Structure 1
Amino acid sequence: MHVFVDESKAGPYLLIASVVLPADLGAARSAIRSLHLPKQSRIHMKTETDARRRTILSAFAKAGLRVTIYHAVGYKTNIAAREACIDTLVRPLAFEPTARVTLECDETQDARDRQQLYRLVRELGCTERVQYEHRLASAEPLLAVPDAIGWAYARGGDFRKRAMPLVTKVVNI
């Protein structure tokens, strides 16, 4: 399984993860790329118009793309919240035959993530089964899924209502 991860810091800290099975990767990437406008290297909800945001969410629903949202409550910093969310995300993956976690690059936290993930996969005894990497959203189209759905969920109102059918579950941490 492949897990694509992004965050939302607008309001309470959210870590959003979308699971795509290996057999579905090509079709899912094609569905995302088909939404790119000319000269657009990635989909980023922050810069899209409301009409495009609705179109993107509808296309994700039609493509069967879903996310789990990890909602961190009561942490003093986003760093602590992110660490708790990553821990909660990765622990069940240790029991999967294989898992590849792709997090959106953020140079302010990538090194910290790598240290945590290195420790975690060793502690869980899954170094051969769970791999992880950071990628730019422009290099991995499927990072648009947690970005878009997380943005809509965090935004609230009509956008959250549109996002909810795409949310498998919300995990409060």
Structure 2
Amino acid sequence: MAVHAFVDESRRNDTYYLGAALVDPGVLVPLRSLLRGLLLPGQRELHFQRETPQRRRLVLSRLVDSGVRVDVYRANCRKSEEWARRTCLERLVNDLLDLRAARLVLDSRTGRDHHDVRTIRDVLGRRPSESGLSYEHFDSTGDPLLWLADLAVWSHGAGGDWGRRVLPLIGSVVRLDWP
């Protein structure tokens, strides 16, 4: 079964993080249920920057046992954030093609999604015989699985105790412009 990837971003100073939660099709529904069950009354999404430290600890502890894997791609964004995103996204799409992933869902960045589409099409065009990957942008409230990438890259980028707590969810960290 081909995995589905759910992607979100985070930025810490001059470091841009792109997280890709890799989810097997057989656990899409139960994982969405688990995530929706973590919402507070009236809450529409989990966004780690807006959660209290107590809530962050609770959410991370619940997800550690889920078997979720989030790969992190990081690049320096001093040149530009769009350059860093493109660099990370190119590598991610190539990695997804190597995995024979079925679907890529990206958190929508209103007014800037066309940059992602151009990047994805460029990569797919270089590997046409392997381009069975479908892709789309959703608002973060549209699919709870996008929250996985958000919480992972936020925690990883924060480092310290948050980095330690999220470590069981992190699959690989790909540094794209560091020696």
Aligned AA for 1:5? V
Q: Which residue of 2 aligns with 1:3?
A: 5
How many angstroms apart in 2 are the aligned matches of 1:83 and 1:94? 16
Structure 1 residues 88 and 97, CA gap change in structure 2 (3 angstroms): closer
Could you list the structure 1 runs, at least 4 aligned residues long, displaced by more than 2 angstroms after superposition: 92-98
Q: SS where residue 138 of structure 1 aligns?
A: coil
Mapped contact 2:103–2:133 kept (Cα < 8 A): yes
Q: Which residue of 1 aligns with 2:53?
A: 50
Match of 1:71 among 71, 74, 82: 74
Q: SS where residue 94 of structure 1 aligns?
A: helix
How many angstroms apart in 1 are the aligned matches of 2:77 and 2:138? 29
TM-score (norm 1): 0.93
Aligned AA for 1:10? R
TM-score (norm 2): 0.90
Q: SS where residue 106 of structure 1 aligns?
A: coil
Q: Which aligned pairs between 1:91-110 and structure 2 lie closer than 5 A?
A: 91-110=94-113
How many angstroms apart in 1 are the aligned matches of 2:101 and 2:72? 21
Q: Does 1:28 align with 2:23?
A: no
Q: Which aligned pairs between 1:81-120 and structure 2 lie closer than 5 A?
A: 81-120=84-123
Structure 1 residues 126 and 139, CA gap change in structure 2 (3 angstroms): farther
Structure 1 residues 60 and 77, CA gap change in structure 2 (3 angstroms): same
| Percent pairwise identity | 35
Aligned AA for 1:89? L
Q: Which residue of 2 aligns with 1:145?
A: 148
Structure 2 gaps, min length 5 = none
How many angstroms apart in 2 are the aligned matches of 1:127 and 1:161? 36
Q: Which residue of 2 aligns with 1:13?
A: 16
Mapped contact 1:61–1:166 kept (Cα < 8 A): yes
Structure 1 residues 97 and 71, CA gap change in structure 2 (3 angstroms): closer
How big is each residue's C-alpha offset from its partner over 1:70-124, in whole Å with a ceiling of 9 and x where there is no partner? 0113761111111110110011322444420100010142011111112221221
Mapped contact 2:97–2:131 kept (Cα < 8 A): no
Aligned AA for 1:120? V
The alignment covers a number of residue pairs equal to 173
Aligned AA for 2:121? Y
Q: SS where residue 128 of structure 2 aligns?
A: coil
Structure 1 residues 122 and 69, CA gap change in structure 2 (3 angstroms): same
Mapped contact 2:21–2:68 kept (Cα < 8 A): yes
How many angstroms apart in 2 are the aligned matches of 1:126 and 1:117? 15
How many angstroms apart in 2 are the aligned matches of 1:156 and 1:92? 25
Mapped contact 1:5–1:102 kept (Cα < 8 A): yes
